[in-house]
Amino acid sequence: MNVRRLAAWIALPAAVALGVSACGGGSDTGGGSTNGGTVSVNLGEPEHLVPSNTVESEGHQVVVSLWTSLVNFDGEGKPVFDQAAAESITSSDNRTWTVKLRDGMTFHNGEKVTADTYINTWNYAAYGPNAQIGTDFFSRIEGYDDLQTGDSPNATPKAKTMSGLKKVSDTEFTVTLSEPFAEWVKVMGYNVFAPLPAAAYAADGTLKPDFENAPIGNGPFKMKGTWNHNQNITVERYQDYSLTKPKVQEINYKIYQSQETAYNDLLAGNLDVQRVIPTSRLASAKNDLGDRFRSTPSSYFGYITVPSYIPAYNKPQIRQAISKAIDRNEIITKIFAGGYVEAKSWVSPVVEGARDDTCGDACVFDPTKAKELWTQAGGVPGNKLPLYYNSDGGHKEWVDAVCNQLNKNLGVQCVPSPVAQFADLRQQARAHTLQGLLRGAWSFDYPSIENYLTPLYATGAASNDSQYSNPTFNQTVQQGDAAPNTAEAIQKYQAAEDILAKDMPTIPMWYRQNNFGFSPNMKTVDLNLFADLDVLTLERN
Amino acid sequence: MFRYVVRRLLQMILVFFGTTFIVYALMFAGRSDPIQALAGERPVSPQVRAQLTEQYHLDDPFFVQYANYMANLLRGDLGTQLSGRSIAGILQQAWPYTIRLAAISIVIVVVFGITAGIIAGIRRGGIFDNGTLALTLLVIGIPVFVLGFFAQYLFGVRWKIFPVTGGAGTFYALLLPAIVLGALSLATAIRLTRTSIAENLRADYVRTARSKGLAGRRVVGVHVLRNSLIPVITFLGVEIGNLMSGAVVTERIFNIPGVGYQLYQGILLQDGPTVVAIVSILVIIYLICNLVVDILYAVLDPRIRYE
């Protein structure tokens, strides 16, 4: 073999490689400037794009572009019907709710949105065998239980339709709940209640498998092309939209695997809006972006659960001592680079009825007082205080910091105890087997103060990790649910929150901020209550 | 030769089954709750959990699940992810990116690695030799994700020479990720070629060739290079597989929707079938590369024979 043949051996794969790489698909950058132009927004690959199956933030962002919800919320978290799919939702007894739909709304394929569309969609979403992730939202509606399979997943449910849904006319229907619930309107503001067109269903009543590749909604934007998995989802302004049309022609959701990369793309000018700035870049974001970096309150409430099922921990003094021994602001500045704000209550400031400081003295950092309370109450067995967290969520740094503070200020041996996966940690938390403190966090399902109370602290509730049980608390919340109007309901809920302040089943830590940023091309960028980008106010320069 | 190849191919089948079994078992053992991933940090109702567990046979015993999976695999059905997407479709979309990326990388490694190695080997102790020595040491010392973010920031954000992300899939967009991906192999290839050349230059047959009056170019190009390339080819063969699986980090940094990304997601979401499918294909690539390397030995060195 001579040199030439050898060269051929090397050159051949080279040629193949260049050939392969040359046929890569071309891609566009920037946007057409016709009619408001195109805005590029970062996104993670969604799990699903069917509203009733979408509760994670990435899919939900696309869903709010394609669907209009029944209820919107104003700056104070109060439900409003401006730009909403419903004209009004009213009830005299908080049990039977009358939904009046706006006339003239159509799906992107031209189909009319009627009372039937909603009833069919909700029955589909609530039907057990369809296994929709958002099905829980429908559980307050009368007849929901008949659509479930119970303990045996193979069984056929008793009914296919919920008895609580009744059509009145093409634009009006009633929803009857199994128990009165004063805050129900707020629940219906979430997009799992969005309607599906008849075109979405196959002959057997299930959804067509390819529907979510090009979902059809009733919202301000419609799909442009199909879901380009792991790459992008593009939506364009729906020309026949009957409400106020959006200000931009197109939104291009670019799918990123890592937020750091998206941030670099934002700096390089290839991305217009980044919905979440990664914590690692928060410190430099203010410098990099100036006033194009924004921080708004979110519904995310971070806390530490104290077990009520271990006697030594079931004392208010012990809980107050732990709370007073933690310097939240130091951790927020040093570790979160200001991406969180200190929490002095149990309800995120974004919902109606939230108050700034319900915790009072117990949430004020005071190491001397903390140590006093701790000694008085007798401490914990073995002077060992485990703090459990999941190591797949970036919690290690702050958990270590909290433990250091507790060690220093209480003279206790706080042990950061990682559990590899979030799911594992949840499993152990549900089983109440953890022998110590537990990190926790809660974002609302619907923007109501009630959602920060019942699921977390009602006796036997699914996320009541502390196994907290106070009959007065349960009773007060129930009184709120049954209250004749919102104002009275909120009063009751606030009274329930005050009970938490005395018992402290959880120690409030902080509220997360929505930290987002945008390029100089953008004029208006807002987030809504659900931390989704507001697609209606979005505007380019 | 033919018999040798057939024997190797038969061995490959065994290795293939062995690895799929091990990977499947590992994924099974490490799995806690893949359903939770569908809902982010929100609680999933027990109803939905039971329904999905039933639909995807998540509570069947290990051997039943594995047997089902393999039976489907042999029929050419890679299964579906928990989100309902077909794994075959996902891989079809992802592979072209990774193959392109790895191909550009390997070309860079071969062309620049061997060339620089030869020059350094011939001019041993010179400025070029010392320069590359320092540079390669540096590259070998830096972890690939540091190198990736650094290169991305410098060339993409700061100087805007390359696009920040490689998601467009064009040659230009993939060039920077490919350089980062191939950097470690490139450095190793240079060192390997250099050492090998330098050693062979002192061999008896080189002196003989020189004393025959052959031109320096012919001595190096034919006699030295052919002997020196054997270890380099071995290295490159294994490296093709490494580059494909090593793309996990690079693809994430440069946002390339390739196999590395799917693998990462699969592990994160505890999606056994996707991970096994990708790893099985990677294993096949490794095996084939190894076979090709072994056959190449005979081409480079006629003394090596296979019965």
pLDDT tens column, A146-172: 999 877 777 889 999 999 999 999 999
Candidates B42, B170, B265; nearest CB to A26: B170
Alpha-carbon distance A341 to nearest alpha carbon in chain B (angstroms): 20
| Nearby residues of A491 by Cβ (< 8 Å), 6 or more positions away | A480, A483
pLDDT, averaged across chain B: 87
Mean pLDDT of A508-518: 95
Give whole-number Cα distances, B160 to A254, A305, B108, B113, B176, in Å.
20, 48, 22, 26, 12
Mean pLDDT of A377-382: 90
| Both tokens assigned to B43 | 């609680």
Kindly determine whether residue A154 and residue B38, on different chains, have CB atoms separated by under 8 Å.
no
| pTM for this predicted structure | 0.86
Let me know: does A157 contact A128? Beta carbons within 8 Å.
yes
Put simply, whether B63 touches A (Cβ < 8 Å) is no
pLDDT in tens, B206-264: 999 999 888 888 888 888 888 888 888 888 888 888 888 778 889 999 999 999 888 98
Contacts of B296 in chain A (CB under 8 A): 9
pLDDT of residue B41: 67
Mean pLDDT of A330-348: 94
> For the stretch A210-249, what's the b/e string if a residue is b when 16 or more beta carbons lie within 10 angstroms of its beta carbon?
ebbbebbbbbbbbbbeebebbbbbbbbbbeebebebbbbb
Instruction: Give the residue from A70, A67, A71 showing the smallest Cα distance to A53.
Output: A67
Least confident of A215-229, A309-323, B33-47, B292-306: B33-47
> For the stretch B232-246, what's the b/e string if a residue is b when 16 or more beta carbons lie within 10 angstroms of its beta carbon?
bbbbbbebbbbbbbb
Rounded to an integer, what distance in angstroms lies between the CA atom of residue A278 and that of residue A336? Answer: 10
- What is the three-state SS of chain B? CHHHHHHHHHHHHHHHHHHHHHHHHHHHHHCCCHHHHHHCCCCCCHHHHHHHHHHCCCCCCHHHHHHHHHHHHHCCCCCECCCCCEHHHHHHHHHHHHHHHHHHHHHHHHHHHHHHHHHHHHCCCCHHHHHHHHHHHHHHHCCHHHHHHHHHHHHHHHCCCCCCCCCCCCHHHHHHHHHHHHHHHHHHHHHHHHHHHHHHCCCHHHHHHHHCCCCHHHHHHHHHHHHHHHHHHHHHHHHHHHHHHHHHHHHHHCCCCCHHHHHHHHHHCCCHHHHHHHHHHHHHHHHHHHHHHHHHHHHHCCCCCCC
Candidates A256, A268, A441; nearest CB to B156: A268
pLDDT of residue A267: 94
| pLDDT for residue A7 is more than 80 | no
| pLDDT for residue B24 is more than 60 | yes
- In degrees and rounded to multiples of 5, residue B286 shows phi and psi of -55, -50
Put simply, whether B225 touches A (Cβ < 8 Å) is yes
Rounded to an integer, what distance in angstroms lies between the CA atom of residue A429 and that of residue B47? Answer: 19
Provide the greatest CA pair distance for chain A: 95
Between residues A321 and B85, the one the model is more confident about: A321
β-strand pairing of A539-540 with A522-524: antiparallel
How crowded is the C-beta side of A60, counted as CA atoms within 13 Å? 25
Kindly determine whether residue A424 and residue B100, on different chains, have CB atoms separated by under 8 Å.
no
Rounded to an integer, what distance in angstroms lies between the CA atom of residue A64 and that of residue B228? Answer: 62
DSSP 3-state of A93: coil
pLDDT in tens, B86-100: 899 889 989 999 999
User: CA nearest B259 in A: which residue?
Assistant: A230
Let me know: does A349 contact A75? Beta carbons within 8 Å.
no
Kindly determine whether residue B169 and residue A25, on different chains, have CB atoms separated by under 8 Å.
yes
* Torsion angle in degrees (nearest 10) through CA of A135, A138, A139, A142: -140
| Both tokens assigned to A448 | 């109501």
pLDDT of residue A34: 53
Contacts of A55 in chain B (CB under 8 A): 39-40, 42
Let me know: does A366 contact A356? Beta carbons within 8 Å.
no
Least confident of A13-22, A243-252, A483-492, A528-537: A13-22
pLDDT in tens, B31-73: 767 777 777 667 777 778 888 888 788 888 888 888 888 888 8
* Torsion angle in degrees (nearest 10) through CA of B274, B277, B278, B283: 150
Bridge partners for A167 per DSSP: A173
| Both tokens assigned to A519 | 């390029």
User: CA nearest B98 in A: which residue?
Assistant: A21
Which residue pairs, CB below 8 angstroms and at least 24 apart, start in A325-330? Answer: A325/A365, A325/A367, A325/A370, A325/A371, A325/A374, A325/A405, A325/A406, A325/A409, A325/A410, A326/A365, A326/A402, A326/A405, A326/A406, A326/A507, A326/A509, A327/A365, A327/A405, A328/A363, A328/A365, A328/A509, A328/A510, A329/A365, A330/A401, A330/A405
Alpha-carbon distance B44 to nearest alpha carbon in chain A (angstroms): 7
| Both tokens assigned to B73 | 């695999």
pLDDT in tens, B138-161: 998 998 889 999 999 999 999 989
Mean pLDDT of B161-168: 88
DSSP 3-state of A186: helix
Kindly determine whether residue A256 and residue B265, on different chains, have CB atoms separated by under 8 Å.
no
C-alpha dihedral sign at B145, B148, B153, B156: negative
Kindly determine whether residue A56 and residue B45, on different chains, have CB atoms separated by under 8 Å.
no
Candidates A149, A230, A455; nearest CB to B51: A149
Between residues B79 and A17, the one the model is more confident about: B79
Kindly determine whether residue A20 and residue B100, on different chains, have CB atoms separated by under 8 Å.
yes
Mutation site for A-interface testing, chosen from B33, B47, B248 by largest number of A Cβ within 10 Å: B47
Kindly determine whether residue B255 and residue A256, on different chains, have CB atoms separated by under 8 Å.
yes
**Beta strands per DSSP E along A318-436:** 340-342, 384-390, 413-419
Give, to the nearest 10 degrees, the angle between helix B225-253 and helix B259-268: 50
Mean pLDDT of A93-105: 94
Kindly determine whether residue B255 and residue A258, on different chains, have CB atoms separated by under 8 Å.
yes
Bridge partners for A201 per DSSP: A207
Kindly determine whether residue A1 and residue B90, on different chains, have CB atoms separated by under 8 Å.
no
Put simply, whether B92 touches A (Cβ < 8 Å) is no
pLDDT in tens, A286-295: 899 999 999 9
DSSP 3-state of A206: coil
Candidates B43, B83, B164; nearest CB to A265: B164
Q: Identity (one letter) of the amino acid at B184?
A: L
**Cβ–Cβ pairs < 8 A, chains A and B:** 178
